Structure 1
Amino acid sequence: MCPDYLDNRLQFMCGGGETGRLVRNYSWKETSLGAPHEWPECIRTAVSICLNSAFPNAVYCGDEFNLIYNDCYIQIAGNNHPDILGLPRYRAWPESWKQTQALFEQVISSRSAVNAVDELFLLNRYGFIEQAYFNYTLSPIIDASGKVCGIFNSLMETTDRVLAERRASLLKQFKSASAKFDKLGSAFEEVLGPLQRERRDIPFAALYETDKHGGFNLKQVTGELIIETDRLESALPDVIACGKPLFLKLENNNVFLVPVIQGEFQVIGVFVAGLNSQIYFDDNYRQFLENIGFLIGTTISYSLRREKDKFVSDQIKYNEDQFQFAVDAAGLATWDFNTGSQLFTGNRRLYTWFGFPEGDGITLRQALSRIATKDRPHVEKALNDALKFETGGYYRVEYYILNPEQSEPRLVRTTGRALFNDKNEVTRFSGTLQDITAERNTLLVLEETNSRLQIALEAASLGSYELEPKTGKMLCTAQFLANLGRPADDSFAYNDLISQILPDYHQLVSDTIQKSIAERQIYEIEYAVRWADGTLHWIEAYGKPQYDENGEILKVVGVTQDVTKQISDRKELERAYEKARLSREAAQFGTFDHDLVNSRMEWDERCRQMFGITHQRPLNMERDLINGMHEDDRERMSDLIKHTLNQEKSNGDYDAEYRTIGAEDGKTRWIRAKGKAFFNEYGVPLRFIGAVLDITAQKENEIRKNDFISMVSHELKTPLTSLKAHVQVLNRKARIHNDNHTSASLDKVELQIGKMSTMINSFLSVDRLESGQIHLEKSEFLLNDLILQQIEETRLIVSSHKLFFEPSVSVKIYADFEKLGQVLTNLISNAVKYSPQGGIITIICGFRAGQAFVSVSDTGIGISKRDIGHLFDRFYRVEGKYTKQISGFGIGLYLAAEIVRRHDGKIWVESEKGQGSTFYFSIPQSVV
């Protein structure tokens, strides 16, 4: 609305609220602009737009750029309103005129607008020079003749946002460093690192540590500490006593002292933050500094907890002792890398190892050419990372050196560090190489332990949060939400958290937070939550309440970590130990565990009993294990253990039977042992574990049974031989008298006598095999000849099946002709038994990978997967409706397997139920 008294020529000044009234009442005739009704039309239009705009605008017009602005500009003007209205620009804002003058001249000369985003201006609005940031546009006001008669200024202050983003970035750097330090000393001396690079909010800072005598030690300083140190340090006890931040006004600078708190409420230091005199010290500034103090305390607390952790401490001490021993025992090569010339220099050992003349610099390209191809990528990456300031300059890598003058590659570990100047430029990069070729196997376990320890120290995923207890609002990081199984963009409040926590923990969580607020303490709590997918997770949370200037709770800030795996693993391990203990007790198993790296052997009580040992002294493999065996078993078992510890030959599998002689009771026991050896990536055995079972009673029964079978077999063999002779005599007489019926009957009798003789011979073979009386009589022959002979013999007595042989090229082997013939006879006989009449039996032989092999295939009933694993066990027979009428005692395949094994060969079967079977055996093509 325009006042009634306003001249029609001044209608452009209508509206505008408070500033509109001030503009209408201003004595413009006293300025270079003159009376308003004489102003150019373009100025009038610009002023009208400005006054009635809902956005901060200003118009600079006339030769001196007199200032006219609207109501939205009042907040920007601060305490200068309304005094600056109508003043020339250089008088309205003299502190920034030099910065603005060039912009005005650019707009006028180019007759085009200029703009900027988040540009800094130093303004005096509240009695001090203040940093203020703006998004703005300066546009020329052009009259009808084309003359620039003023400048239209649209602007928006972004100071709060710029400061908030900058501070949030700095807080993020402190949060990222929370898992960096594993020692209290290094945390106190390096935790202020982010303030070395970002000083706009905290131009200088200091960190004091309390000592046990009540004093303070200055641990770290950033920026230039130009303050009254005596007065500052005299205020430190007050901060410790009250445990609250303290604002301190000094002669040169103001500082803000924040207590560094660890655990419940233990003040372990003071963070001194120098205040930027050009930034208003409001609640946001204060809270920002308190947050940094809290993060410093959190970082130091985590470093102290890691350092004091007993398990980690013990492992680190052990590993350091082992590592130091290895370092002292090894000669080191030294190196120095010049980043300018890109040359390595070092001591004589460096040149010798790499195979270059001593004294000449070694280029990076030359050095890499002597490093194994597979190692070059990670060597180059480690080198490049070390030359970056952000990594701290640390360099550690292992690789193989391939010196053309030496036959064997040399495995080395190189360690070093790059040093940087204040411009983050490398000033020196040097270190050492250690030859670890011989020690590699010994150090593998140590390195694996160190690696796991390092992962454990760095892998903790911490999520942070801010909670407003009065409103329930929460500001959370993506990791915090991830710990609750929620997406990173999920909206989240305290009620959502409580809804995920199991009801049993609701009261505990609420009471813990309320107690923390009431007692002004940091809290620590564990509780269970339910994810959206129904899974249960455990959360470990830490929090610290923060208060306003009146002592009222403002918010709670803290961190969380998903500790589900640690708790689950602990419970699962307890269950597994209990289950294993019950299983061992029920089965009367004993267990053994041999640490081959450290030469330690652990037996449980049951295992010791089986060797007749009652003491609990340390055990030794040679003294207690090998010498504790029966003298007839020692050599065999020693060879078997060596075989087990050869990964290529055994894959670490161990299965044995042997006798022990009790060390203290002298009692003989039969033991069944099964175990597994574990190897490193190079095939070196690290550990050998397993279980033992006392089978003395079973073995004694088995010996009695075998003795009985042997005795019966011997007793039956003589009368059968006599009976066969009489049948043959009778058969000849029947043929002489052309008594075909009698002859045919006697042929069948003779066939059945032959089958019975074969069965008895099999029993006798088992007896001789187990008593060690079967010896191989090896000779050189063609495998084809052996197969053809067995086929011809089979065809004499088998007419119900078709036998096909696919001979290979001449494969000459060195083996026992008769016993391999027995293997073939058993395999062909089985194929006949378990396939229908008229079935086809195919025999193939050949040579591959240094092994001669034979396969026998049939089209019979096949074998189930359950039975395949037991086919070669003694007396094992497949049970089923199709096998009940098939004769046999489960001896043939057992004998075949033993004969093949004594030739250092392998025997196996491939079959599917109803699809026939193929039996294979292979033996090395040995040299005579």
Structure 2
Amino acid sequence: MLNEKQTRHLTLPQWKTLIKHVDEQKKAEQQLKASEESFRTLAETVPQLVWTTHPDGLHEYTNQHWRDYTGPMSEQIQRWDHLQFIHPDDRAGNQALWQHALDTGTMYEHEERLRNGQNGEYRWFLTRAMPMRDDTGQIVKWFGTSTDIEDQKRTEESLRQSQERIRALIDSNIIGITSIEMEGEVLADANEAFLRMTGYTREEVQSRTLSRMNIVPPEQAPLFERSIQELTARGQHTPFETELVCQDGSRLPVLVGGVIFQEQPRQMVAFMLDNSARKELEQRKDDFISMASHELKTPLTAVKLQIQLVRKRLEKQSQPEAATTLARVEDPVKQLERLVTELLDVSRIQAGSIEYRRERVDLDELLREVTATIHHLHPSHTILFRESVRASLIGDRDRLGQVFTNLISNAIKYSPDAEAVEIDLSPSEDAVTVHVRDHGLGIPREQLDKIFERFYRVTDLRQGAIPGLGMGLYIVAEIVKHHGGTITVDSTVGKGSTFTVTLPLMRDA
């Protein structure tokens, strides 16, 4: 600016130039003020922590969000050391990158944890700063923001941990894992456990020549087709036991489960557990049961015949008390004989050698005979038999009698405090349905799917004293299945159970 002495000697044109220069300077100052006010209005509106520094990095401004997060600030903001708010582990990275930005005039960016001045806790922020330059290209200040990315970091950490668990599972030597393209059912990838189990090589998998057609036995195809249908409908399928064809042509028993992994292109991940040890153990058990039951059958039959002969002799010799005592021995012998017979049936079912006759069966007559026999053995219970129409079918009369004898006997056995068992027979156009209903102990819902498994018994303290080996319902289910029928159960603990058998009418078994 000119001083008073200098202005005295100005000419009129010089005065006009001076006034114009002053006006332009005032306008520039007003525009700068308006710009700064707009900037501060914007800075106070955005959700980020906003700050500015001088060209040398000394802070000159922070918005309210920054002050709310970091806590009360002194008026000497230019002297403020921002490092006090940064996590100790992140300070070195902050200093190095910030100094590099100041030296080169390039953008600053760093993920760092900032301390909350209210509670002392740290949260992750993404901090960025850009240099602001004048018309000559000189840096006049730095404009910076800090964006809260704590939720993103937590998500990333959860994803990382999840990926580590998945990788640990994939790299494990316990479970075979394959990635399968649904279209064409081609193996796209497999872990080392699968390759070791089956003998296939990494090259064979990468060549994409392995598919379900190669590694699944033809007779197992329906199982896989049903699992694919379930997979499409639910995104996963119920695990099931099957076999895989290995590279050398041998077969490997496995337990298979699968889930949809991605939609486009649709891929599934299959999990396979080597089931050969369990199958071998089951085979040994079956062999032992078969051998033991056959070895017991002959001497048991001899004991039974001897008891009957001795009892008849005692009756002829007018020794009724001795005969009665001996008769009591027959009941446990009969029970043992029934158990041995069930063991033999189980071993025959497993071997596929159980024999069935084909004959016309009057189901109404059969049920009446069975109920009469059981009622004679258990006079304490009333067996209510209701029929709508007489029904006949083709099957093995003795085996079907075995089914209903077991169901009605169980209904009585598991209803110690109830006096009635109900039997309903109701035919439809192509099938006949028999309901056997009791009002006894009932079966826990979580065990209903297991009661038809071999050697499975309901685990309930109230039923612990009831004898049995868990073979009866397994045999019943197999006989019903052989006749083309189904068996289901509906039960409520404390109220009783209803077993429903549905058999096709006049159908060859």
Does the TM-score normalized on the shorter chain lie above 0.5? yes
**Once the two structures are superposed, what CA deviation does each residue of 1:849-889 show, in whole Å capped at 9, x if it has no partner?**
x99463543423x5556755643332234567655654322
Q: Secondary structure at the residue paired with 1:663?
A: coil
Conserved? CA contact 1:842–1:858, under 8 Å:
no
Task: Name 1:592's counterpart in structure 2.
Answer: 178
CA–CA distance in 1 between the matches of 2:370 and 2:122? Answer: 67
CA shift for structure 1 position 905: 2.7
Letter in 2 for 1:755: Q
Residues 286 and 650 of structure 1: CA distance in aligned 2, closer, same or farther (over 3 Å): closer
| 1:676 corresponds to which of 250, 258, 282 | 258
**Once the two structures are superposed, what CA deviation does each residue of 1:487-519 show, in whole Å capped at 9, x if it has no partner?**
xxx955687998986553356446645654564
Written as runs of structure 1 = structure 2, the 5 A alignment for 1:218-229 is: none
Residues 858 and 685 of structure 1: CA distance in aligned 2, closer, same or farther (over 3 Å): farther
CA–CA distance in 1 between the matches of 2:121 and 2:139? Answer: 38
CA shift for structure 1 position 571: 1.9
| 2:161 corresponds to which of 559, 572, 582 | 572
Conserved? CA contact 1:653–1:677, under 8 Å:
no
Residues 687 and 762 of structure 1: CA distance in aligned 2, closer, same or farther (over 3 Å): farther
Q: Secondary structure at the residue paired with 2:272?
A: strand
Residues 720 and 493 of structure 1: CA distance in aligned 2, closer, same or farther (over 3 Å): closer
Letter in 1 for 2:130: K
CA shift for structure 1 position 524: 1.7
CA–CA distance in 1 between the matches of 2:231 and 2:401? Answer: 30
Residues 608 and 512 of structure 1: CA distance in aligned 2, closer, same or farther (over 3 Å): closer
Conserved? CA contact 1:782–1:813, under 8 Å:
yes
Task: Name 2:438's counterpart in structure 1.
Answer: 857
Residues 575 and 495 of structure 1: CA distance in aligned 2, closer, same or farther (over 3 Å): farther
CA–CA distance in 2 between the matches of 1:534 and 1:918? Answer: 62
Letter in 1 for 2:378: V
CA shift for structure 1 position 753: 2.8
| 2:128 corresponds to which of 533, 538, 542 | 542
CA shift for structure 1 position 712: 2.8
Residues 283 and 863 of structure 1: CA distance in aligned 2, closer, same or farther (over 3 Å): same
Letter in 1 for 2:296: L
Is 2:499 aligned against 1:920? yes
**Unaligned stretches of 5+ in structure 1?**
1-124, 131-246, 248-278, 293-461, 482-489
Residues 919 and 548 of structure 1: CA distance in aligned 2, closer, same or farther (over 3 Å): farther
CA shift for structure 1 position 762: 0.9
Letter in 2 for 1:596: M
Task: Name 1:907's counterpart in structure 2.
Answer: 488
CA shift for structure 1 position 637: 0.9
| 1:771 corresponds to which of 327, 343, 351 | 351
Taking only the aligned residue pairs, the percentage that are identical comes to: 21
Letter in 2 for 1:769: I
Letter in 2 for 1:524: E
CA shift for structure 1 position 675: 0.8
Task: Name 2:453's counterpart in structure 1.
Answer: 873
CA shift for structure 1 position 769: 1.0
| 1:606 corresponds to which of 193, 197, 203 | 193
Written as runs of structure 1 = structure 2, the 5 A alignment for 1:135-284 is: 281-282=31-32, 284=34
Letter in 2 for 1:857: D
Letter in 1 for 2:376: L
Is 2:282 aligned against 1:702? yes
Residues 879 and 844 of structure 1: CA distance in aligned 2, closer, same or farther (over 3 Å): same
Is 2:333 aligned against 1:753? yes
CA shift for structure 1 position 655: 0.7
Residues 533 and 833 of structure 1: CA distance in aligned 2, closer, same or farther (over 3 Å): farther
Letter in 2 for 1:616: E
CA shift for structure 1 position 791: 2.6
**Once the two structures are superposed, what CA deviation does each residue of 1:400-423 show, in whole Å capped at 9, x if it has no partner?**
xxxxxxxxxxxxxxxxxxxxxxxx
Written as runs of structure 1 = structure 2, the 5 A alignment for 1:317-332 is: none
**Unaligned stretches of 5+ in structure 2?**
1-21, 54-58, 74-81
CA shift for structure 1 position 763: 1.1
Task: Name 2:12's counterpart in structure 1.
Answer: none
**Once the two structures are superposed, what CA deviation does each residue of 1:783-809 show, in whole Å capped at 9, x if it has no partner?**
666554433222122234x24447364
CA shift for structure 1 position 699: 3.0
**Once the two structures are superposed, what CA deviation does each residue of 1:132-162 show, in whole Å capped at 9, x if it has no partner?**
xxxxxxxxxxxxxxxxxxxxxxxxxxxxxxx
Written as runs of structure 1 = structure 2, the 5 A alignment for 1:835-850 is: 835-836=415-416, 840-843=420-423
Report the TM-score, using the length of structure 1 for normalisation: 0.41
Task: Name 2:386's counterpart in structure 1.
Answer: 807
Letter in 2 for 1:920: F
Conserved? CA contact 2:342–2:472, under 8 Å:
yes
Conserved? CA contact 1:845–1:855, under 8 Å:
no
Letter in 2 for 1:918: S
Letter in 2 for 1:540: L
Is 2:200 aligned against 1:617? no
CA shift for structure 1 position 596: 0.9
Conserved? CA contact 2:262–2:268, under 8 Å:
no
CA–CA distance in 2 between the matches of 1:765 and 1:626? Answer: 35
Q: Secondary structure at the residue paired with 2:224?
A: helix
Q: Secondary structure at the residue paired with 1:773?
A: coil
Conserved? CA contact 1:543–1:557, under 8 Å:
yes
Conserved? CA contact 2:107–2:128, under 8 Å:
yes
CA–CA distance in 1 between the matches of 2:119 and 2:383? Answer: 62
CA–CA distance in 2 between the matches of 1:536 and 1:826? Answer: 69
CA shift for structure 1 position 895: 2.1
CA–CA distance in 2 between the matches of 1:760 and 1:837? Answer: 29
The structure with more radius of gyration: 1
Conserved? CA contact 1:467–1:475, under 8 Å:
no
Is 2:249 aligned against 1:640? no
CA–CA distance in 2 between the matches of 1:533 and 1:889? Answer: 64
Residues 678 and 555 of structure 1: CA distance in aligned 2, closer, same or farther (over 3 Å): closer
Task: Name 1:689's counterpart in structure 2.
Answer: 269
CA–CA distance in 2 between the matches of 1:500 and 1:781? Answer: 89
CA shift for structure 1 position 694: 3.3
Task: Name 1:524's counterpart in structure 2.
Answer: 109
Residues 690 and 900 of structure 1: CA distance in aligned 2, closer, same or farther (over 3 Å): farther
Residues 671 and 620 of structure 1: CA distance in aligned 2, closer, same or farther (over 3 Å): farther
Conserved? CA contact 1:905–1:924, under 8 Å:
yes
CA–CA distance in 1 between the matches of 2:403 and 2:454? Answer: 15
Residues 882 and 654 of structure 1: CA distance in aligned 2, closer, same or farther (over 3 Å): closer
Moved more, 874-883 or 604-613: 874-883
CA–CA distance in 1 between the matches of 2:261 and 2:394? Answer: 34
Conserved? CA contact 1:777–1:815, under 8 Å:
no
Conserved? CA contact 2:411–2:436, under 8 Å:
no
> Which structure has more RCO (C-alpha within 8 Å, separation ≥ 6)?
2
Letter in 1 for 2:488: I
Conserved? CA contact 2:48–2:148, under 8 Å:
no
Residues 610 and 508 of structure 1: CA distance in aligned 2, closer, same or farther (over 3 Å): closer
CA–CA distance in 1 between the matches of 2:129 and 2:100? Answer: 12
CA shift for structure 1 position 522: 1.6
Letter in 1 for 2:435: V
Task: Name 1:653's counterpart in structure 2.
Answer: 238
